[in-house]
Amino acid sequence: MISLAWPWLLVVLPLPWLARWLLPAGDDRGDAALRGPHLEACAQRPAAGRASNGRRWQLLLGLLAWLCLVAAAARPEWIGDPVQLPVSGRDLMLGVDLSGSMRETDFVLGRRQVDRLTATKAVAGDFIRRRVGDRIGLILFGRQAYLQAPLTFDRETVHTLLLESVIGLAGKETAIGDAIGLAVKRLRENPAEQRVFILLTDGANTAGVISPTQAAELAASAGLRIYTIGIGADEVIRRTLFGNQRVNPSADLDEETLRQVAQVTGGRYFRARDTAELEGIYALLDELEPVEKERRVFRPTRALFYWPLAAALALAGLLLVARSGRLRA
């Protein structure tokens, strides 16, 4: 159906009539060089009749142009049929570690060695795209925690912001507690059954103003469920001057704290030693039970103001042509 976004603008429709009624009439003889009363009697009646008809047509064109102009100002819109949005009811906040240790190249993606953040972007990006109907948010943390994307249905934008993140953007240290605290702050207004935070890190808490255990207690009191993911291989082979050596690149990973955070908040701790395990974890997180919400309805609208506006401009052009012809005559 057709609707007006600003119907109150229709009150200006009688403005030309009010102006004609309230303002004094103009004197058409103002341009005459010589006035002679006896000349009026010599005027021919057919010419006067043609002039009167011309004025009526100009008045009609002006009124139509005014009507079209007011109609355009009232912003007519075409409102389509209601469309139900697919909403599952889950609000998920993702927390991704951008500390310096994420540069460790102990993951394989597409038969090539990549760093931990690159593997996270690939797997978490697929996870974000699959969450049709969910609201997704993104927190990036290093020395400090930042809200990169608030909860939104625009999954493509969240995915783009994740891809644009770089190691060291938030500092080289790791503030796990601050990231949890920020998630609590952003999710506390949501119903308790919808508060889910997925935290991915490869280290231990080395910065921030609050410890992970304290933040976990705050999250538990706020009804926030946290799933923690510890990322990093257990063993890699490195070439040195003394030959190949086996090292543990995840020696700094504080699994005990991550496990405790998940347990206190009613979530789970996962360990991702390679890309396959990371994909399996996100596939398991995909199985979270949805929480039903009220159905959201969207009615597409299409602006129509340009049609009456174009008609008003066309009528104004015709009126200008008619008046210029009358003046020349």
Rounded Cα distance between 150 and 189, Å, is: 13
Q: Is residue 32 part of a domain?
A: no
Structure confidence at residue 239 (pLDDT): 67
pTM comes to: 0.61
Rounded Cα distance between 161 and 221, Å, is: 30
Structure confidence at residue 300 (pLDDT): 79
Angle of helix 15-22 relative to helix 45-73, nearest 10 degrees, comes to 130
Q: CA 229, 234, 236: angle at the middle one, nearest 5?
A: 130
Q: Is residue 320 part of a domain?
A: yes
Q: Which domain holds residue 107?
A: 85-285
DSSP 244: E
Q: How many CB atoms lie within 10 A of CB 206?
A: 17
Same domain, 116 and 159: yes
Same domain, 89 and 9: no
Q: For the chain, how many structural domains are there in total?
A: 2
| C-alpha atoms less than 13 angstroms from C-alpha of 60 in its C-beta half-sphere | 6
Contact 142, 172 (CB under 8 A): yes
Structure confidence at residue 39 (pLDDT): 47
Same domain, 69 and 95: no
Same domain, 205 and 143: yes
Same domain, 243 and 316: no
Q: Is residue 36 part of a domain?
A: no
Contact 131, 175 (CB under 8 A): no
Same domain, 121 and 218: yes
Q: Is residue 192 part of a domain?
A: yes
Same domain, 91 and 68: no
Same domain, 91 and 240: yes
Contact 269, 220 (CB under 8 A): no
Q: Is residue 37 part of a domain?
A: no
Hunting for tokens 């299409």 — which residue is that? Answer: 302
Sign of the CA dihedral running 320, 324, 327, 329? negative
Same domain, 153 and 166: yes
- Per-block mean pLDDT, blocks of 10 residues, the chain (329 long): 86 84 64 51 50 72 88 88 65 90 85 88 88 86 92 91 90 91 86 80 89 93 90 73 68 89 92 86 74 62 88 86 66
Rounded Cα distance between 174 and 177, Å, is: 9
Q: Is residue 24 part of a domain?
A: no
Same domain, 62 and 93: no
DSSP 142: S
Same domain, 220 and 195: yes
| C-alpha atoms less than 13 angstroms from C-alpha of 95 in its C-beta half-sphere | 31
Structure confidence at residue 84 (pLDDT): 65
Q: How far is CA 149 from CA 10, 155, 281, in A?
A: 41, 10, 22
Q: Is residue 280 part of a domain?
A: yes
* CATH number of domain containing 190: 3.40.50.410
Same domain, 134 and 232: yes
Q: Is residue 23 part of a domain?
A: no
Sign of the CA dihedral running 31, 36, 41, 44? negative
